[in-house]
Copies of this chain bind each other. A is one copy, B any other.
Amino acid sequence: MSDTWINNNRLTAQISFLAEIDKLKNVLRKTFIMDGSRLENTAEHSWNVALMAVVLMEHANDTSLDLNRVIRMLLLHDLVEIDAGDTFAYDTQGYLDKEERENAAARRLFGILPEDQRGEWMDLWREFEDGETYESKYAAALDRLHPVINNHYTGGASWQKNGIVRSQVLKRLAPVKEVSDTLWSFALEILQKSIDQGILLDDPIAEEV
C-alpha cells in the first residue's frame, strides 16, 4: 500500500494493516456454513467464535476468566492464515510445518503495525498458540467446538467429505474437556447423536481417546 495518510505514520501503517487483513475473507476453511451452501471463510469463523465466547461464557469451569482477552484473541487468532493458509485440523502432513509457516506470517502481518501495537498483537497471538493460560484454553475450546457444531447441523458435510471419524474429532476437542464440564458433555452428546444419525463414522479407538 503506497498511500500515506494525513502525514501520520502510525495511521498510515494501521490502514495498511487493515487493508492487509481484509484478505482473511478469502481464506476458505473446510467447514460449511450452517445452511450447507458454501464453505466458511476464516473472517466469518473468527467473528463467530468471538460471539460464541460471549454466549457460552457461563459454562467455563472458571468464570473469573478475562473474557475481553478471549474475545480479542479469537478475533486475531487466525490472521496468520492470510499467508499460511488454513491447515485442515486433520491434515497431519500440513501440521508438520504449520508452526513455522504461521510464525513467519505473524512476523510479517503484525510487523505492518506500529512497533508498540505489533508487540501487543503478537503477544495475544502467541498466548493463543501456546495454550497455557486459561483464557487461551477457553478460546481454543470454542475454536474446536465451532466446526463440530457446524458439522452436526450440516449433516456432517465436512466430516464425510474428508472421511473423518469420531476418535479424530475427540482428540481435537481436548481443550473443551479441560475448560468446561458442561461443554464437554455437550460435545460428547453431539458426537453420539451424529453417530446415531449416521453422519459421523465411529471407530474402535474412540473409547481410548
Residues of chain A at the chain B interface (Cβ within 8 Å):
3, 5-6, 8, 10-11, 14-15, 17-19, 21-23, 25-26, 33-35, 37, 40-41, 43-44, 46-48, 50-52, 54-56, 58-59, 68, 71-72, 75-76, 113, 117, 149-150, 153, 182, 185-186, 189-190, 193
Q: A11-B186, A25-B40, A182-B11 are in contact. Are A72 and B48 (CB under 8 A)?
A: no
A160 to chain B, nearest CB (A): 19
Across the interface, which residues of B come within 8 angstroms of A23, CB to CB? 34-35
**Which residue from chain B places its CB closest to the CB of A14 in the assembled complex?**
B55
Point out the residues of chain B lying under 8 angstroms from A58, CB to CB: 10
Q: How far is the CA of A189 from the CA of B6 in the complex (A)?
A: 7
A22 contacts across to B, CB distance below 8 A: 33-35, 48, 150, 153
Q: Count the copies.
A: 2
Question: Given known contacts A6-B189, A26-B33, is B55 in contact with A75 (CB within 8 Å)?
Answer: no
In the complex, the answer to whether A6 meets B44 with C-beta atoms within 8 Å is no
CB <8 Å contact, A55 and B189: no
CB neighbours of A19 from chain B (8 A): 34, 149, 153
> Could you tell me the distance between the alpha carbons of A179 and B191 in the complex, rounded to whole angstroms?
48
Q: List 24 A-B contacts (CB under 8 A).
A: A5-B190, A6-B185, A6-B186, A6-B189, A8-B186, A11-B56, A11-B59, A11-B182, A18-B48, A18-B51, A18-B52, A19-B153, A22-B33, A22-B35, A22-B153, A25-B40, A26-B35, A43-B44, A47-B47, A47-B50, A50-B50, A51-B75, A54-B75, A71-B71
Choose from B18, B71, B150, B153 the contact partner of A149 (Cβ within 8 Å).
B18
